[in-house]
Structure 1
Amino acid sequence: MIPALFAGLCDDAAVFPPGLAPLPDAVAAHDTYKQAWYTDLVGPLVLAAPALDALGDLLGPRETPLAVAVTLPGGPDRLPGVLDAAKALPIDLQALEIAVPDGMGPAELLDAISAATAPVYVEIPRDDRRLPLLRALAGTSHRAKFRTGGVRADLYPGEAELATAIRAAVEAGVPFKATAGLHHALRNTDPETGFEQHGFLNLLLAAGAPEQAEALLAERDGEVVAARLRELDADTARARFTSFGTCSITDPLTELAALGLLPRGEA
C-alpha cells in the first residue's frame, strides 16, 4: 500500500541518463511496475519525442494504453507532430514537458502550447526568465519543470537557488515537477563525482513548507526528514510538487522503506 504522500511521485525516466535503458527494455520494465504492489508509486514512462516513432511496432495491440510523458527539449515547434503521433498509438499521453527556446517570451510560449491535449510542464530556465515565466503560467492549467542536476556540478542548483525557485512557484500557484540528479531520497554528496545532489524527499518537504525551503533542502538526516514527512500536509505538498523523474523505480522504493516510510518487507 502506497501512502497518498507518495502516489505517482516517481516518473519513470529509465531511457534518460544515467540509466539509458533501451526503449524495449524500458517499456517491458514499466509494464512490470504497473503490475507490482507499488504500482501507485509509479507515474508515466517519460520519453523524448523521437521515441514515439519506434513505439508503433514495439507496442502492438494492448489492452491497456501505455501511460507516457513526452519531452520536447527543443521547444514547442514539434508539438503538433507529437499530438498527431499520440493519436495513432496505444498510449495515454499524460504530460508534455516543453523547454523554452532562447528568445521566446512568455506570451509567445503560451500561444505555442495552447493546442496541447495533456498537462504541459514548462521547463523553467535558470536565468532572469524564471519569474516572468512562472507569473505567465499562474492561472493557467500549465505547470513548471525544474532541472535539479545533470552531468556537471554546475548543473545542480544550490539550496538557495532551488529554494527561491520553489517559493516563486508556490507564490504563483504553479505546480511543479523536478528532474535530473535526484538519485536519492536525501541530500547527499555523490561519492564518485563529488557532486552535491538534492534529495527528492527534501524537495517534497520544501514544497510543503516553502518558507523553510533552503534549510529543508540541506537536511541530510534521514530520521529528521522522515519525522517531518509524517507531519506534512500531504495534499498541499503534492498539489505543489507533482513528481520527479527517476532512472530507477526500485531505488526510491528501497530508500523509502529504509526510512520507515514504506513497509520494509514489501520493498
Structure 2
Amino acid sequence: MSRTPFAPLFDRLVDDAAVFPPGLAPLDVAVREHLERRVGPYAAHIGPLLVPAASAAELTTLAAADPRTLQTPLEVSLVVRPGSPTEPLVDALTSLRDDDRVLVTAAELGWSDDWRQVLRAGVPVVVEVGLGEEQARGLDDIAAAVDEEHDVTVKFRTGATPTWGWPDERVLGGFLDAVVLHGLSFKLTGGLHHAVRGRHGGEQMHGLLNVLLATHEALHGAEAHELAGELGRRDTEVLVTAVASLGTDDAERVRTSFTAYGCCGVLDPLTELEALGLIPATDTTEEHR
C-alpha cells in the first residue's frame, strides 16, 4: 500500500527523454515503448515523450503507422538544445499543427534574445536558463512574458554534460530560491535518476525526493543556503517520511511550482518510488489476466 493517500505529487512527474543522452534510444523504439508505457502500470506518472524538433517529419511517419494513435494522439514536447537557432523549432511546430496523430504539449529551448519567436506558435513554452548573470536575465525576461499572460515554464539542468558541470547543492539551491522568488514554475532535466542524493554509478546525483522537499521549503520562504542543506540530505527514511507527510494541498502547491523533469531512464525513479512505498505497487496479477 502507498504511504501517501494522494496522487498529485507524482502525477505525470517524469517526462520520457529516452532519445536523449545517455539513453539515445532510436526514435522508433522510443515511440513504441512510450505508447506501451502510457497504458502500463506507471502510466499515471509519465508525461510526454521528449523529441528533438529536427525529428518532426520522422515522428509524423511513426505516429501515422501506429494504430494506437488513432484513438489517443502521441503526446510530445519538441526540444532544441540551448544555443541552437529557434527556426527549426518554429518549423517543427508548424508542421505538426494539423497532425491528428501527434499532440504537441510544449516547445522547449534555451533562453536567448530571440526565444520569444516560439510564443507565436500558441503552445506552452519551456525555456532553459544557465548560471549567474545569464540566469538572472533569463528569469527576469521569462517573468515578464508570464506577466504578459504567456504560458512559459523555466528549465534547469541538474546533470552534467561535456559542456555543463554538475550543479552542486549550492547551485541548485540558488536556482530554486530564484525561480520561486520570481513566482515561476519550473521543470528540471538530466540527472534525476534516483530518489535520494548520493553517488550513483560513480557520479554525484541529486535526489528526486530532496528536490521535492526543497521546493516545498522554498515555497515556505526558505533561503538558498537552507535549500542547499535539504538537497544534501542522504537519509532515505527521513526523506521518505517527510515526503509522505505532505498534505494534498502542499503536494499540489509543490507540483504547481515543480511541474516535471526529463529522464532518459523513465522507469528508474518510478521503480524506486514504488519500492519506498510512495506510489502504489504494480498489480501484475491484473496485468496478466
With the length of structure 2 as denominator, give the TM-score of the two structures. Answer: 0.84
The answer to whether the 8 A contact 1:83-1:117 is kept is: no
1:206 aligned to which of 205, 211, 214: 214
Hey, what does 2:200 align to over in structure 1?
190
Residue 273 of structure 2 is aligned to residue 256 of structure 1: yes
Residue 156 of structure 2 is aligned to residue 146 of structure 1: yes
* Structure-to-structure mapping, 1:1-267, within 5 angstroms: 3-60=7-64, 62-73=70-81, 74-89=84-99, 90-101=101-112, 104=113, 108-110=114-116, 112-138=117-143, 140=146, 141-152=151-162, 155-191=165-201, 194-210=202-218, 211=222, 212-232=226-246, 233-266=250-283
The answer to whether the 8 A contact 1:187-1:198 is kept is: yes
Cα distance in structure 1, aligned partners of 2:236 and 2:162: 26
Cα distance in structure 2, aligned partners of 1:34 and 1:83: 23
Which string of whole-angstrom CA distances, capped at 9 and with x for unpartnered residues, describes residues 195-225 of structure 1? 2111122111111112132111111111111
CA shift at 1:244, angstroms?
A: 0.6
Determine helix, strand or coil for the equivalent of 1:35: coil
CA shift at 1:177, angstroms?
A: 0.4
Cα distance in structure 1, aligned partners of 2:59 and 2:22: 22
Q: Which amino acid aligns with 2:91?
A: G
Cα distance in structure 2, aligned partners of 1:153 and 1:58: 32
With the length of structure 1 as denominator, give the TM-score of the two structures. Answer: 0.90
Determine helix, strand or coil for the equivalent of 1:50: helix
The answer to whether the 8 A contact 2:74-2:103 is kept is: yes
Cα distance in structure 1, aligned partners of 2:92 and 2:265: 25
CA shift at 1:250, angstroms?
A: 2.1
Structure 1, unpaired ranges of 5+: none
Determine helix, strand or coil for the equivalent of 2:12: coil
Worse-matched range after superposition: 74-83 or 28-37: 74-83
Cα distance in structure 1, aligned partners of 2:85 and 2:130: 12
Determine helix, strand or coil for the equivalent of 2:176: helix
CA shift at 1:114, angstroms?
A: 2.6
CA shift at 1:265, angstroms?
A: 4.7
Cα distance in structure 2, aligned partners of 1:171 and 1:204: 17
Q: Which amino acid aligns with 2:183?
A: G
CA shift at 1:251, angstroms?
A: 1.5
Closer, same or farther: CA 237–99 of 1 in aligned 2, 3 Å: same
Determine helix, strand or coil for the equivalent of 1:129: helix
Which string of whole-angstrom CA distances, capped at 9 and with x for unpartnered residues, describes residues 107-154 of structure 1? x433x2330322111110123111121122225121100001134596
Cα distance in structure 2, aligned partners of 1:227 and 1:152: 36
Q: Which amino acid aligns with 1:12?
A: D
Worse-matched range after superposition: 45-54 or 226-235: 226-235
Relative contact order, CA 8 A, sep 6+: which one is greater? 2
The answer to whether the 8 A contact 1:98-1:122 is kept is: yes
Determine helix, strand or coil for the equivalent of 1:162: helix
Hey, what does 2:287 align to over in structure 1?
none
Task: Tell me the percent identity.
Answer: 36
Cα distance in structure 1, aligned partners of 2:34 and 2:230: 31
Which string of whole-angstrom CA distances, capped at 9 and with x for unpartnered residues, describes residues 129-188 of structure 1? 111211222251211000011345962101011101011100101100000111211111
Cα distance in structure 1, aligned partners of 2:272 and 2:163: 24
Closer, same or farther: CA 49–154 of 1 in aligned 2, 3 Å: closer
CA shift at 1:36, angstroms?
A: 1.5
Which string of whole-angstrom CA distances, capped at 9 and with x for unpartnered residues, describes residues 73-109 of structure 1? 11423232022121243211111111134xx2xxx43
Cα distance in structure 1, aligned partners of 2:59 and 2:164: 34
Structure 2, unpaired ranges of 5+: 285-289
The answer to whether the 8 A contact 2:16-2:46 is kept is: yes
The size of the alignment, in residue pairs, is 259
Cα distance in structure 2, aligned partners of 1:120 and 1:28: 25
Cα distance in structure 2, aligned partners of 1:154 and 1:160: 16
